[in-house]
Amino acid sequence: DTAVSQTPKYLVTQMGNDKSIKCEQNLGHDTMYWYKQDSKKFLKIMFSYNNKELIINETVPNRFSPKSPDKAHLNLHINSLELGDSAVYFCASSQGLAGDNEQFFGPGTRLTVL
Amino acid sequence: DQQVKQNSPSLSVQEGRISILNCDYTNSMFDYFLWYKKYPAEGPTFLISISSIKDKNEDGRFTVFLNKSAKHLSLHIVPSQPGDSAVYFCAASAYGANSKLTFGKGITLSVRP
């Protein structure tokens, strides 16, 4: 009974390709997030959506385009992949936007760009 | 610019003893602090939190202490168990809408049987 799920779990691709990562939550939350954990292990927020509306965009290159078809889904599309995009990407969700709302994370997608 | 710092990358303790994980922050606007625990190949899971109006919050074996004047918080686990072995992330946010979590880089805790 997975609360926040991501597909795929692993993604290996060549530079210049376009790829997507999907995220779904079954918690009934109205807010979803994408985080990137780079080689230095920092978890950094990339985007947040509330009721399908973009709320946070943390100066992410416009090659990254999130899309929220409904409140339960937040997909991440990446164009023209670069070596530096290699990282683990985590999706998360919460009820509401406030900073004291617990965020529930998916298992992560490990992206490797060759 | 690291606003949340976990300066010790790892900690090893004996089962049954206390584990103390430290976290420092620089942004005085942070009002809420959380600890997340992460096992390999899994996402972080929420462990315990504390708001700035408190200096201590306890939940079973886990206690978080906050020293606002020092901009320092710590997570105490007592007694430590082998199942506590994981990466622990400290995170902070400011109250209000559109707030985001700022994470430290994590501390790897190993509890030896």
Would you tell me how many other CB atoms lie within 10 Å of the CB of residue A109?
22
- CB of B74 closer than 8 Å to CB of B23: yes
Q: Kindly state the percentage of chain A with pLDDT values over 90.
A: 75
β-strand partners of A111: A11, A87
> What mean pLDDT comes out for the span B2-20?
95
- pLDDT for the residue A42: 87
**Strands B19-25 vs B4-5: parallel, antiparallel or unpaired:** antiparallel
pLDDT bracket for residue A97 (50, 70, 90): confident
- By mean pLDDT, which of A23-27, A85-89, A98-102 is the weakest? A98-102
- pLDDT for the residue B23: 97
> What mean pLDDT comes out for the span B85-104?
87
> What mean pLDDT comes out for the span B11-28?
97
> What mean pLDDT comes out for the span A1-17?
93
pLDDT tens-place string over residues B51-89: 999 999 999 999 999 999 999 999 999 999 999 999 999
- Listed by number, the residues of chain A in 59-98 with a beta carbon closer than 8 Å to a beta carbon of chain B are 90, 92, 97-98
pLDDT tens-place string over residues A57-75: 887 899 999 999 999 999 9
- pLDDT for the residue A1: 66
Q: Is the pLDDT of residue B97 over 60?
A: no
Q: Is the pLDDT of residue B91 over 90?
A: yes
Partners of residue A42 in chain B, C-beta under 8 Å? 2, 103-105
- Measure B30 CA to nearest chain A CA, in Å: 9
**Quick one: closest CA in A to B101, which residue?**
A99
- pLDDT for the residue A51: 87
Q: Tell me whether residues B51 and A100 touch, CB distance under 8 A.
A: yes
- pLDDT for the residue B100: 85
Residues 6+ apart with CB under 8 A from B37: B44, B45, B47, B86, B87, B88, B89
- pLDDT for the residue B9: 92
pLDDT tens-place string over residues B21-58: 999 999 999 999 999 999 998 999 999 999 999 999 99
Report chain A's mean pLDDT, rounded to a whole number.
92
pLDDT bracket for residue B99 (50, 70, 90): low
pLDDT bracket for residue A45 (50, 70, 90): very high
Q: Tell me whether residues B103 and A58 touch, CB distance under 8 A.
A: no
Q: Tell me whether residues B49 and A40 touch, CB distance under 8 A.
A: no
- Measure B66 CA to nearest chain A CA, in Å: 16
- CB of A6 closer than 8 Å to CB of A23: yes
